[in-house]
Structure formats: C-alpha cells, structure tokens
C-alpha cells in the first residue's frame, strides 16, 4: 500500500513570554517570533503616559473623605497600589493584603449614594478618614500580574460589592456576602463602614481587586462614553432597584408599591416598568421627588396624607398591590416632622401587599445605629408586625444586591436604548471639588442623583 501525504502549513509553536505592556510582568499567549515593536507596547498606556511608573508619579490622587458627622472634604490621598494598606476602616486581617489579581482605574464617574449619606449623617460607626464611594466606573491604567481579561485603556464598570469569585457564596452568585474579602463579616464594599476597609472610589484613582471576576468591560468605548450617565448607574442603584423588584416577584402585569422616591426608589420604579409592571406606585414624603417620579409614568402617594391602603384603593380600585419594594431603609420617617420610625416602611409594605405576595428590601438596615433615638433601633432591633406578614404568607428578601447577577443584562438594555435610567433618576454631573455641596444638596432631599466627574471627562448638560 502506498501512503498518500497532503502538504500542510505547520503554525509556529505557541510559547509564553513576557511582553512589555506593563511594568508589572504579565504572561500572554503569542506565536513564537520577534517581540512587538515599541509603538505596540506604548499604545497600551493612557494618553500622556509611557509607563505605569509615569502614571503613579505624575497623576497624584484626590478623594472625598469622611471627616465626622455632617462633614466631607476633598483631600490629597495616596495613589493606589495593588495592596490594601492599613488605614481607616481596614480590619487587621486585611492589612497589607496583596492584590496581584487587581487593577487600578482612572475614575471616569463615581456617584453619591444614599448609603453614603447614612455614614455622613453619623448613623453608622464609620471612622474619620474613610475614603467614600462605592459606585465606580473607570479606565484601566494598571493591571496586576494575575489579570488576564483586561487591557490598559479598557472602560470598566465595577460592582459596589467587593467579591472574590472563589468562595461558596460567590459560586452561588451571592456576591453581596462574599466570604473572603472581609475578615470580620460576610460581604465587602468600597468606601463603606464594616465592609473590609477597601478604599472608596469617589477619587481620581482607585484599586479594584479580583479584576477578572468583578469588572464589566463596555464593548465599545465611544458608545459607552455617549451613554456614560446611564452606564454609571450599573455599579449599584440600577441593579439594586432591579434586584428589589425581581425578589418581590414583579413581572408582566404586576402592580407594585415602591417605598421611597430617592435614586434607588426611582431605579426600582424604572426596573418595575422594564419587567412589565402594569402600575407602579411610588410613596414618599418629599413632594419634589414625587413630582419627578410622575415624569416617567409613576403613580404617587404621600404616606403621611392618610391610610396607605385607602390611597392605593383610589388609584387601583383595590387597596393592595402584588409586590412591594422598600427603598428607604432604617432611617424611615412616619411624618414630615422628621420623627423616625424605622419599621414604618416594612409594616406598611406588609399591610398593602396581597396575601401570597413578596416584599423586596434593598433599603439598608444596619446592626449598629449610634444615631438612633430608640435604644432597640441602635442595635438593629425593629418593632415589626411580623405576625401580619406570616399570616399573609409573604416572602421577604433582604441584603446587598448581588450586582454581578444583573449588571451585564442591564448594560445591554441601556446600550440598546431599552431604558433611560439617567433621565429617570435625574442624573446630575458635578466636579470632584463640588462633591461636598452635592452631599449637602442630596441630604436636603433634592430630586437628583449626583454623578462626580473627577477628570472632566463627562458632558455637563
């Protein structure tokens, strides 16, 4: 038998080599042959920089810093490194924690959140000197040696949850209670009390650990920058509002009560419409915020104006809804005189949600509230009518939103013009130096979501 052979072109062997794309070596697969030319390597650094050392030495860093109840300032702080150094709020078990899996971002946008306000009002045990901010969108300027899926210059959305992607909870997509990023309790977050001490992102630059797991790259940078006021909401409030609705069972034809017309409440209302709700009722004591909710189709009620079931009956013809979402949390008030009643929203939600319905609770509740007037509330104990919820077979869902469960799908909804979240939460761009005033305005109840622009990269309408 005569063997027949077909000529083929054998590709060059693949070898692993270090390329000079970073001062921190990084392995990549590339066919054997000459190394890339210098322009290839230098093009991977942000405009104006030729190396990561240039970025570190030339950039500097400024950030919004908590200075005690009622006060935040913009201060010069250390440029971030791929290590969690000792500092305000960093537990001993996290000090000097190396992060070869991390990346450093030039912050493009970072938002002020109602959760930040809880700390600034002195309602938590947040330490003075804490760098604030957990809603972070940025450009990659440095990569750790273990990062494989990002490149310098990528535009990235960062979930507010710090999570490892390796523990049991992360594998179950419960990234709000990661078991590895905070030695003192499950769950981590940037710039937040008791959440592992990870420095916040209301800054010019920030370090993001576990980059391959946690980062969401925008597929087209130019398109993303055009929609950045919407996309910046992917870090927290849009997924958080969406999570509240999903856990409350909102679906096509649902009637929904959303407690709170702040940014998270408006994001929840937006999410309810996106999920197909037939009617969305938003409740708040702030008339300006309710007026803004009506601009995109919400019905509104003022819970202090009379019994909530009666007000809902006037709107829907029945005194109940299919689902309720608590977007207020532990600083809830029963009346406009400012008297706090931390359980009032949850009790009202049980009252107006139909038997067999569900209540999503993305609103923040804490284990320690030093500013509470009620001794029980100081340790997170609330006077709930739990028997009512039990009798009606309600389902309650609590805790941090696991942002990674939702952010990519919501990104696609934004990019394909299926939702206008920036308009609905009234996104308002401010400079880093204007952040203290933004905090003051937000605390006063203005119907706006403040987006900080540390580098002047956003359009200021």
Per residue in 166-211, pLDDT (tens digit) is 999 999 999 999 999 999 999 999 999 999 999 999 999 999 999 9
Kind and range of the H or E run holding 54? helix 52-59
Q: How confident is the model at residue 29 (pLDDT cuts 50, 70, 90)?
A: very low
Residue 296 pLDDT greater than 60, yes or no: yes
Mean pLDDT over residues 416-423, rounded?
Answer: 98
Q: Which long-range contacts (CB under 8 A, 24 or more apart) does 373-377 make?
A: 373/340, 374/340, 374/342, 377/330, 377/340, 377/342
Per residue in 335-368, pLDDT (tens digit) is 877 788 889 999 999 999 999 999 999 999 998 8
Calculate the dihedral angle through the C-alpha atoms of 195, 196, 197, 198, rounding to the nearest 10 degrees: -90
Per residue in 122-172, pLDDT (tens digit) is 999 999 999 999 999 999 999 999 999 999 999 999 999 999 999 999 999
What are the start and end residues of each CATH 3.90.180.10 domain in the chain? 53-235+403-453
Model pLDDT, residue 24: 34
Model pLDDT, residue 47: 55
Angle at which helices 237-247 and 407-415 cross, to 10°: 110
Reference 84, options 185, 167, 211, 208; nearest CA is 208
Kind and range of the H or E run holding 214? helix 211-214
168 by Cβ neighbours in 10 Å (0-12 / 13-18 / 19+) ranks as exposed
Model pLDDT, residue 15: 33
Query: pTM, whole model, 2 decimals?
Result: 0.88
Cα distance between residue 340 and residue 168, in whole Å? 38
CA-CA distances (angstroms) from residue 162 to 393, 395, 437, 446? 34, 27, 28, 29
Architecture field, domain 53-235+403-453: Alpha-Beta Complex (3.90)
Domain 237-397 fold is Rossmann fold (3.40.50)
Three-state SS string over 341-409 comes to: CCCHHHHHHHHHEEEEEEEECCCCCCCCCCCCCCCCHHHCCCCCCHHHHHHCCCEEECCCCCHHHCHHH
Q: How confident is the model at residue 461 (pLDDT cuts 50, 70, 90)?
A: low
Q: What is the mean pLDDT of the chain?
A: 89
DSSP type of residue 433:
G
């Amino acid at each position: 038998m005569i063997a027949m052979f077909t000529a083929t072109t054998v590709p060059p062997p693949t070898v692993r080599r270090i390329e000079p794309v970073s001062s921190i070596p990084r392995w990549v697969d590339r066919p054997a042959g000459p190394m890339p030319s210098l322009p290839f390597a230098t093009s991977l650094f942000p405009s104006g920089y030729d190396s990561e050392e240039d970025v570190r030495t030339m950039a500097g860093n400024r950030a919004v810093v908590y200075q005690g109840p009622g006060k935040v300032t913009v201060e010069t702080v250390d440029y971030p490194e791929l290590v969690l150094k000792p500092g305000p709020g960093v537990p001993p078990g996290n000090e000097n924690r190396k992060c070869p899996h991390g990346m450093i971002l030039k912050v493009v946008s970072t938002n002020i959140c109602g959760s930040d306000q809880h700390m600034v009002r002195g309602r938590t045990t947040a330490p003075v000197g804490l760098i604030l901010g957990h809603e972070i969108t940025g450009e990659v300027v440095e990569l750790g040696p273990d990062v494989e899926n990002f490149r310098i210059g990528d535009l990235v959305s960062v979930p507010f949850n710090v999570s490892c992607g390796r523990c049991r909870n992360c594998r179950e997509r419960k990234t709000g209670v990661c078991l590895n990023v905070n030695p003192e309790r499950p769950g981590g977050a940037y710039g937040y009390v008791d959440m592992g001490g990870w420095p916040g992102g209301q800054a010019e630059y920030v370090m993001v650990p576990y980059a391959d797991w946690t980062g969401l790259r925008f597929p087209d940078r130019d398109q993303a920058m055009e929609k950045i006021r919407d996309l910046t909401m992917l870090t927290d409030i849009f997924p958080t509002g969406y999570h509240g609705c999903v856990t409350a069972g909102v679906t096509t034809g649902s009637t929904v009560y959303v407690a709170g017309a702040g940014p998270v409440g408006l994001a929840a209302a937006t999410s309810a419409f996106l999920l197909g709700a037939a009617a969305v009722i938003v409740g708040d004591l702030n008339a300006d915020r309710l007026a803004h909710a009506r601009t995109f189709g919400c019905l509104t009620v003022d819970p202090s104006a009379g019994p909530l079931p009666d007000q809902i009956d006037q709107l829907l013809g029945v005194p109940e809804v299919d689902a309720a979402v608590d977007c207020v949390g532990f600083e809830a008030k029963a009346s406009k005189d400012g008297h706090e009643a931390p359980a009032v929203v949850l009790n009202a939600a049980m009252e107006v949600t139909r038997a067999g319905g569900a209540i999503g609770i993305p609103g923040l509740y804490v284990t320690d509230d030093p500013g509470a007037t009620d001794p029980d509330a100081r340790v997170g104990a609330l006077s709930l009518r739990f028997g009512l919820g039990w009798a009606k077979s309600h389902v309650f869902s609590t805790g941090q939103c696991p942002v990674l469960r939702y952010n990519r799908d919501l990104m696609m909804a934004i990019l394909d013009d299926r939702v206008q979240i920036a308009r609905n939460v009234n996104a308002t761009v401010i400079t880093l130096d204007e952040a203290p005033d933004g905090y003051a305005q937000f605390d006063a109840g203005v119907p706006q979501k403040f987006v900080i622009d540390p580098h002047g990269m956003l359009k200021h309408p």
